[in-house]
A and B are shown apart, each in its own frame.
Chain A
Amino acid sequence: MRLFIPLVWIFSFLVTAQLVAAETAADTKPETAADTATRSLLDALEDKTMPDVSLAILERVVADPTASPELKKEVPFRRAAAMVVLSRTEADSKKRAAYLDEAQASIDAFLASGGVSDRQAISAYTQKANLLIERGRAKADQANRPGADPAPLRADAVKFFDEAIKSLQGVAKPGQEIKEVKNAEDAVLKVLREVNEKVRELEQAAAAAQAGGPGPNSARATAAKTSTAKAAAAQAAAAEANAAQAFAAQAAQASQATAKAAGPKPSPAAAKAVAAAVKAAAEAAKTAAMKVATAQAAAAEAAEAKKAAVQAVAAAKADDAGKAKPARASAKPQKELERLTADQEALQGKLIQTRLMTAATYFEKAKAYPAKSKEWTDTLTKSAALFKEAAEKYSNKGGGLFARYYEGRNYALLGQYPLAVETLVDLATIEDKIPLAILIRSRSLNTMLECLIALKKYDEFDESARKFALEDIRRLPGAQLDADWLGLKYRAAVILVARGDQLDQKDPKSNADRKKLLSDAKKLATEVAKANLDFSAEARELAAKLGKEVEEGPRTFAIVMDDAKLLLTTMQERNAELKKAIADKDEAKAAAAKEAATAARTETVAKLEEAMKLAGIANPLAADVSSDDALEGASKDEINQARYLLTFLLYESQRFEESAALARLLVDRYPNAKGSRQAATIGLSAWQQVAQRAEGAARDEARVKAAELATTIIQIWPDEDVSGAATTVLIGMAVAARDPVAIAKVMDQVPATSSKRGEVLLRAGAALWREVQEIRRVKDSPTRPDDKVIEAWKSRARTALDEGLAGVASGGSLPAGPLGALTVAGALSRVQIAMDDDDTAKALAILEQPVYGPWVLVTAKNPVLQQGSLPEASLTLALRLFIQAEKFDLAQQAMDGLEQLAGTGEEASTKLTSMYLSMGRDLQSQLEQLGAGKAKDPQVRAKAERILGGFEKFLDRVASRDTKISSQFWVATTYLTLGSGKGTGAVVPKDKADRYLKRSAEVYGNLLSKKDDPEVARFEPSIRLRMANIYQELKQWDEAQEQLDWFLADAKRQNSLDTQIQAAELLEAAAVDAAMNGDSEKANKLYREASGGRRGKPVVIWGWNDIANKVGRQGIEGVDERSRQARSTFFNARYRSFATLLARARLPGKEAEKKSSLDKADAAITMTHNLYPDLGGPEMLAKFDALLKQVQQEKGVANPQGLPAAKAPAPEEEGK
């Protein structure tokens, strides 16, 4: 089916230009150079297909106070036209629709704005109809795709076409006054009537002037006659030009429509049709240009003649009046008449075009219905009727010829072959040799032959038609071997064969005629077959039947691409089958479909590579410039389409690096090619896949490549979805790398208009805050950034989270899925930052924010907070904040929530304890952070007081009111946290800390008194260890030892390394305390036990020496993480053991043993160093060195040297 719409498109632009010209002419105010330049540039840009630039210019026009109102008036049309062009280069169907929406909105807003002139209405309604037709066709195309649900799509298409028809088709009856313009046809008619009236008035005035003269004037009569003749010639030329333009437009549209119809799954025939249509369009345009030039020249001549006539009239009148007025006296009305006449012609042309467009729109609408359905038949019939009406009305104009042709074509499609033949016969027999006549004849004859074959009326294919079919089209002006010519030649061959078959082979004359017919048929079939385009397969078969084997034509890029696209369609179909089979749980079918899809994919890749080679591109991945210039028989767009398809298929084939390389090429060199954006996204995924699968340097390289690609994508398409995906990749990488600088950089890169900006900011803000917290914990590291830098990061995190959360809030609801979870995580981070800022009000506001507030969501049991760690994190943070804010009821609710979250059963208590501990650690961290700052600052102290005050009150309240084991655990644990944090000492005074510890021990003690409770029994070891810690902190050594003894009395627990270390530490701490209290004997005993252990039954304490022995082998020989920990324990235990020797040597009253202890320490340290020169690393090495120096000093060495090699560790060791 040939497509008509191009007519619509091209005409719409011509009409806009005409309208502007007419209005400009009507305006006496001269246009400025800037306006002229802008208008010319916009026109040129339409040809150049640079809609983005057009839109930028139009924005400037709108904002430019110096731009003329006339130019500003054009903005909506120009804008709509640009949006339509933009939509054609957009691969994403949603975006494409959005562009068309915007274009339509632009026109609708203009039409609704009021003050629209009738001339402007012509363009606006025409442009609107174009848009609607475009959309209708898109829907109709979608309906025809495999797997689509056609019914709703077709319904949508019909709706669009109906709207288009409404915008085009007039409602005013002949002679009826047009008061309100609601469509293009009525608008044209109204303006045309006004112009007609003005022309009539001026002509009447001229005629009256002529009639009023004294008699015939030969000069005047001659001028008038010449004028009339020239005007007639000009009109004829204009009609021909009109027709040529219409045909050019039709051909151009056919080319576009065919290309569009080829779509994502074009058939080889469709692809060939595209090439043919493009050629036809180009040729028709050339013809049209020629005709237009001729018409313009004729019109100019006619205008000259008319001018002469009017001047003659004026001069005669002046003569008659006896006044020799100069001819220029009549220049003004004459010029006005010229202008109006030209305008009149343009409007008449527009009227024809509008009516043809309406008929063509019905034709398009028919395609939205299933073929042969009642609706299809009715619509096509309506189209034919409108074309018929136009053909009769404009029988002497170019438009009328085309209307007749389309009318006939519609009859043929409807199967009304006799009527089609009758309609087309005149056009099919035109003998003229001008390009336009040849064009219309070839098309009409092609359709007519189709009908004759169907009717088996072979004899009606007469000698003239046979001669025309056999023409060498290279010798016909303007002719191209397009689909119509190929159809014509193939069908002519079929008819000739049929006629030959009817002849008697036995009769010599008949046989000679038959041979001649078959010879011509063979010639025609061979010609078509060789062209290797439309009808080539059928023609090849026919030629073979006629006795000559037609060799297949050479394989070209286009042919192989057709094959590839066909295979791609097959692959997609198999994939659809696979999907269905999986859904149906039909494993056998799924396996078969998968295999078939894989095979089709492999074959498609091979075809695409072959096509590229045929186009002169040996290596599709090569990014050399020559590959651009070496294209053979393929346009860059086609090559890039092949590249895009390859990018996709290589990815599907898991050839990720090749896919990514191809994507990179498209992004770098052809960012505006259709499919480049999609290829970019595929490229990103491909590098991520490589990174996931590779290791070491290869993985790092893939990550770098992904980052580079993502950065480029953001630069090229800052405002588009693909950029959002790229930013997500970048932020993911920066977060994974835990690199605050990289995170901040991505935040800077993310475009303000990116759809992913909110998501990226939330992710980045939360990650940056996490890094800030981590870095703050690191003290005294040379790599630790300056506090100002850390604070700047915190500030960036705060800003990013605020913006990200504001975006979610403005949306009115929490996004579902991962984005929702990300939002809650971001909100939690923001609450923490607010607490860190001591901005409780802000923290509460976020926590309770209606859309994303974690407290609101967790209490409402929002699905987003039903999984992962978010509910726990939300409740523990809420608990901490509510306590801090002294909102104890809410805090209690949070506790209840945590209990519910922990659930019931054996694991519940453990889980709950873990959650409380987590909260306690956060609280401790908060206090430490306060202490690490200006601990003496009154404000800091006041803040700490507030935090502690809230907790004290709440804990006491819970301890007294809530007797649940879990609650008591929490109270005890939190008191322990508050009292024992080493870093909290700066803000928690010692006496207060001791009080907290005692309170904790008290609560734990109470719990131990409920040992009958299985839950308490299960946690007794843990409670006792904690109590040991508390008593140790409180220097209640015996009580501490009592708890440890309970623990170590159990043979099963004696081998707990951590407990043994704790016991050794306890003994050592007690020794230090005894020494400080002047009890050397006790101290000496405790030091000895700390070092050598205690072997009393049932309690066994290993001491530092045995601890070292137990872990020594694993620590020295192993290389894994546990071994590294054992190594650390080994050297630490050794050090502590040697340190006790020194401590014992220093005890008052132990002088007798001093030398022995010091020698032992000296020898032990030296020996250990000899055995293990690095002593566990630089830090321990330094400690051993310092210890040895103290030993040497105690021994009286004048200049203690410490370890022999301790001063200058080998450089390569430093980094270990």
Chain B
Amino acid sequence: MSGIHWKPARIGFGRLVVAVVAMVAAHTMALAEDSVRTRDGGTLRGALVSVSPDGVDIEESGGEIKKVSIVELDELVLDGEPEALRGARGLLRRRDAAGAAEEITKIEEAEIRAFDPRIREEYDFIRIASNALAATNETAASWEKQLVDFLQKNARSHHFYYGSEILGDLRARQGKFVEASEAYRNLDRGPPALRVRSAAARAGLLMRQGKYADAIKEFSAAEKIEANESDAASARQKLEAVLGRARCLALSGKAAEGTSVTESVIKDAQPEDKDLLALAYTTLGTCQRAAGGKDQDAIISFLTVDLVFNTVPIAHAEALSNLVELWNATNQPERARAASQTLVTTYPNSSWAAKLSGAEKAS
């Protein structure tokens, strides 16, 4: 599943912990200050009073309690958290899972146990999530288990949905499609944007299995999930579902239709929505390749991802993988080698790097 818009924020709590936090916050308000960054660029500072999978409540210095829903929440920074934890979260936000996993090792586990339980929970999540995202075939099962444990123990964490999605992705990578689907279904408990995301993720599983007709139905269903007109987050998620449908159309022999659908998404996209555009141009390139005889168009689409919208690792890796093939096909071996090098050095654990490695061995 691509186009993750989760930005790991802060830990989740059980009811008891929340109460404790609220009390502590009330008493230490003058000394401690948490902060919540929202997706529109705003920052709220104060004391957390409530945390749940659906969002957080924060009491500002004036005593006013502000609610931030999970789809609006960009980052939650806890007062007193170690610098390395913040750094690891930053790397994870930039989708550098391997970097985050490495950064978090700078924190002594014994040391973190002495911290506030909220910080310990945040530490656990970032450590497990980053390692799960960067997991290899050998380590995937171990991190899957740790992630399941975390979600069970922290069912009220605001990371719950994000964690569930990571779990679904991890299982999907291992070919455990039924289990992956179950994990994605956790998102159905959330607001409409997450329900769209859940449905699209499950459609993606069908696509991975080559069940394009079924996948198209699922993507279409995701597009039709009811949401308010003002719900921009849902509308945004639906565009990803549209792209999923376009890809399935291309892969099932309807490349022209897929191209047309993708172009309509690009036409209506906001120029600053780089994540969506990364997915859109990757999909467009896929449609163009599926159409046959459009290698030059496909190169341009994948280059757009490589050189302009390269912030979504999975899309970037896919674009690079395609570029390796396309450059070779168009007699540009030096460019193919450069793309190959970028792929294996930037995304060594990606399926696209593995595919490339497999292809090289086979040849």
A residues sitting closer than 8 Å to B (CB atoms) are: 30-34, 36-38, 40-41, 44-45, 48, 50, 53, 56-57, 60, 66, 628, 636, 668-673, 715-716
Whether A44 and B296, one on each chain, are in contact in the complex, defined by CB atoms closer than 8 angstroms, is no
Partner of B271, one of A36, A57, A636: A36
Q: Nearest 4 A-B pairs (CB), nearest first?
A: A44-B307, A716-B331, A36-B271, A33-B269
B280 to chain A, nearest CB (A): 8
A44 contacts B271, C-beta separation under 8 Å: no
B299 → A minimal CB distance (Å): 7
Which residues of chain A are within 8 angstroms of B337 by Cβ–Cβ distance? 628
- Check if B28 is an interface residue, CB within 8 A of chain A: no
30 A-B pairs with CB atoms under 8 Å apart are A31-B271, A32-B271, A33-B266, A33-B267, A33-B269, A33-B270, A33-B277, A34-B266, A36-B271, A37-B266, A37-B271, A37-B309, A40-B307, A41-B304, A41-B307, A45-B303, A50-B303, A53-B299, A53-B300, A53-B303, A668-B333, A669-B334, A671-B331, A671-B332, A671-B334, A672-B332, A672-B334, A672-B335, A715-B331, A716-B331
Task: List the count of A-B residue pairs having beta carbons below 8 Å apart.
Answer: 62
CA distance A48 to B303 in the complex (A): 11
Q: Which residues of B contact A60 (CB under 8 A)?
A: 297, 300
CA distance A37 to B276 in the complex (A): 12
A88 to B300 alpha-carbon distance, docked (Å): 22
Please give 5 more A-B residue pairs, beta carbons under 8 A apart, in addition to A38-B304, A716-B331: A37-B266, A37-B281, A37-B309, A41-B300, A672-B335
Chain B residues within 8 Å of A, Cβ to Cβ = 266-267, 269-271, 273, 277, 281, 296-297, 299-300, 303-304, 307-309, 331-335, 337
A-chain residues with CB within 8 Å of residue B277 when the two chains form the complex: 33, 37
Chain B residues whose CB sits within 8 angstroms of the CB of A34 once the complex forms: 266-267
Residues of B within 8 A of A48 (CB): 307
Of B273, B297, B307, B309, the residue contacting A45 (CB under 8 A) is: B307
B184 CB to closest chain A CB (Å) equals 28
State A183–B219 Cα separation when bound (angstroms): 57
Q: Which residues of the partner chain B approach A44 to less than 8 Å between Cβ atoms? A: 307-308
Pair B299/A32 contact, Cβ less than 8 Å: no
Q: From residue A8, how far is it (CB to closest CB) to chain B in Å?
A: 26
Evaluate contact between B304 and A37: CB separation under 8 angstroms.
Answer: yes
Of the listed residues A33, A34, A38, A672, the one surrounded by the most CB atoms of chain B closer than 10 A to its CB is: A33
Contact check, A32 vs B267: say whether CB atoms are below 8 A apart. yes
State whether A57 and B331 are in contact (beta carbons under 8 Å apart), knowing that A33-B271, A33-B273, A37-B309 are contacts in the complex: no
| A56 and B334 in contact, given A33-B266, A34-B267, A48-B307 (Cβ under 8 angstroms) | no
Is B300 in contact with A57, judged by CB distance below 8 angstroms? yes
- On chain B, the residues within 8 Å of A671 by CB distance are 331-334
Residue on B with the closest CB to A44?
B307
A-side contacts of B303, CB under 8 Å: 41, 45, 50, 53
Residues of B within 8 A of A716 (CB): 331
Smallest Cβ-Cβ distance to B269: which chain A residue: A33
Task: Report yes or no: A56 in contact with B273, Cβ–Cβ below 8 A.
Answer: no
- Give Cα distance in the complex from A457 to B141, angstroms: 79
Tell me whether B300 and A40 are in contact (CB under 8 A). Answer: no
Contact of A669 among B266, B270, B333 (CB under 8 A): B333
Q: What is the chain A residue whose CB lies nearest that of B265? A: A33
Contact: B333 with A670, CB < 8 Å?
A: yes
| Closest chain B CB from A828 CB (angstroms) | 38
A671 to B271, CA, bound (A): 36
Closest CB of chain B to A549's CB: distance in Å?
A: 45
Nearest-Cβ distance from residue B136 to partner chain A, whole angstroms? 24
List residues of chain B with CB within 8 A of the CB of A636. Answer: 334
Knowing A33-B277, A34-B267 are in contact, say whether A670-B334 is a contact too (CB < 8 A): yes
Query: A56 to B294, alpha carbons, bound, how many Å?
Result: 12
Taken together as a complex, chains A and B put the C-alpha atoms of A45 and B306 apart, in Å, by 11
Docked pose: A670 CA to B335 CA in angstroms: 10
Cα(A1018)–Cα(B270), bound, Å: 98
Q: How far, in angstroms, from A299 to B79 measured CA to CA in the complex? A: 33
Q: Which of B300, B307, B309, B333 has the most CB of A within 10 A?
A: B307
In whole Å, how far is B164's beta carbon from the nearest beta carbon of chain A?
Answer: 30
B334 adjacent to A40 (CB under 8 Å): no
**A636 and B338 alpha carbons, distance in the complex (Å):** 12
Give Cα distance in the complex from A512 to B240, angstroms: 81
Docked complex Cα distance between A31 and B266 (Å): 12
**A-chain residues with CB within 8 Å of residue B297 when the two chains form the complex:** 60
A712 nearest CB neighbor, chain B only: B331
Cα separation A32 to B264 with both chains bound (whole Å): 12
Cα separation A57 to B271 with both chains bound (whole Å): 19
* Nearest CB of B to A78, in Å: 14
By a CB distance below 8 angstroms, the chain A residues around B296 are 56
> Contacts A33-B271, A671-B331 known; A56 to B300 CB distance under 8 Å?
yes
Closest to B360 in A: A625
What chain A residues lie within 8 Å of B300 (beta carbons)?
Answer: 41, 53, 56-57, 60
Question: What B residues does A41 contact at CB under 8 A?
Answer: 300, 303-304, 307-308
Q: CA separation between A935 and B281, bound complex, in Å?
A: 66
B133 to chain A, nearest CB (A): 27
**Interfacial chain B residues near A668, Cβ < 8 Å:** 333
User: In the bound complex, how far is the Cα of B267 from the Cα of A30, in angstroms?
Assistant: 12
Nearest residue (CB) in A for B273 is A33
A44 to B335, CA, bound (A): 15
Instruction: Please name the residue on chain A nearest to B332 by beta carbon.
Output: A672
B273 to chain A: which residues have CB within 8 Å? 33
Complex Cα–Cα for A45 and B333 (A): 17
- CB B276 to nearest CB in A, in angstroms, measures 9
- Give which listed residue, A36, A40, A53, A66, contacts B267 with CB less than 8 A: A66
A-chain residues with CB within 8 Å of residue B308 when the two chains form the complex: 37, 40-41, 44
User: Which residue on chain A has the smallest CB distance to residue B270?
Assistant: A33
Instruction: A668 to B328: give the CA distance in the assembly, Å.
Output: 10
CA distance A669 to B332 in the complex (A): 8
Output the nearest chain A residue to B268 by Cβ-Cβ distance. A33
Query: B334: which A residues are within 8 A, CB to CB?
Result: 636, 669-673
CB closest residue in chain A, given B266: A34
Q: Chain A residue with minimal CB distance to B330?
A: A716
Provide the residues of chain B in CB contact with A31, threshold 8 Å.
271
Complex alpha-carbon distance, A636 and B334, angstroms? 10
* A38 contact set on B, CB distance < 8 A: 304
A35 nearest CB neighbor, chain B only: B271
Taking CB atoms, residues of chain A closer than 8 Å to B331 are 671, 715-716
Chain A nearest CB from B339 CB (Å) reads: 11
For A47, give the chain B residue with the smallest CB separation: B307
For A36, A66, A715, the residue with the greatest tally of chain B CB atoms inside 10 Å of its CB is: A36
Q: How far is the CB of B251 from chain A (nearest CB, A)?
A: 23
Minimum CB distance partner of A718 in chain B:
B331
Query: Chain B residues with Cβ under 8 A from A669's Cβ?
Result: 333-334
Residue of B nearest to A66 (CB): B267
B356 CB, nearest partner CB in chain A, Å: 14
Whole-angstrom distance between the Cβ of A624 and the nearest chain B Cβ: 13
Q: How far is it, in angstroms, between the C-alpha of A33 and the C-alpha of B297 when the chains are bound? A: 17
A738 to B335, CA, bound (A): 40
The interface residues of chain A lying within 8 Å CB-to-CB of B266 are 33-34, 37
Instruction: Give the docked Cα–Cα distance between A946 and B331 (Å).
Output: 56
A45 to B299, CA, bound (A): 12
Bound-state CA distance A40–B304 (Å) is 8
Complex Cα–Cα for A36 and B276 (A): 14
CA separation between A56 and B267, bound complex, in Å? Answer: 21
**With a CB–CB cut-off of 8 A, which chain B residues contact A36?**
271
Residues of A within 8 Å of B304, CB to CB, are 37-38, 41
A693 to B79, CA, bound (A): 84
Residues of B within 8 A of A66 (CB): 267
Q: How far is the CB of B270 from chain A (nearest CB, A)?
A: 7
Cα–Cα, bound, A40→B308 (Å): 6
Nearest chain B residue, comparing its CB with the CB of A669: B333
Q: Closest Cβ of chain A: how far from B287's Cβ, in Å?
A: 15
**Bound CA–CA A66/B260 (angstroms):** 13
Min Cβ gap A178→B in Å is 35
Residues of A contacting B332 in the complex (Cβ-Cβ under 8 angstroms) = 671-672
Q: Chain B: which residue is nearest A56 at the CB level?
A: B296
Chain B residue at minimal CB-CB distance from A673: B334
User: A636 to B271, alpha carbons, bound, how many Å?
Assistant: 37
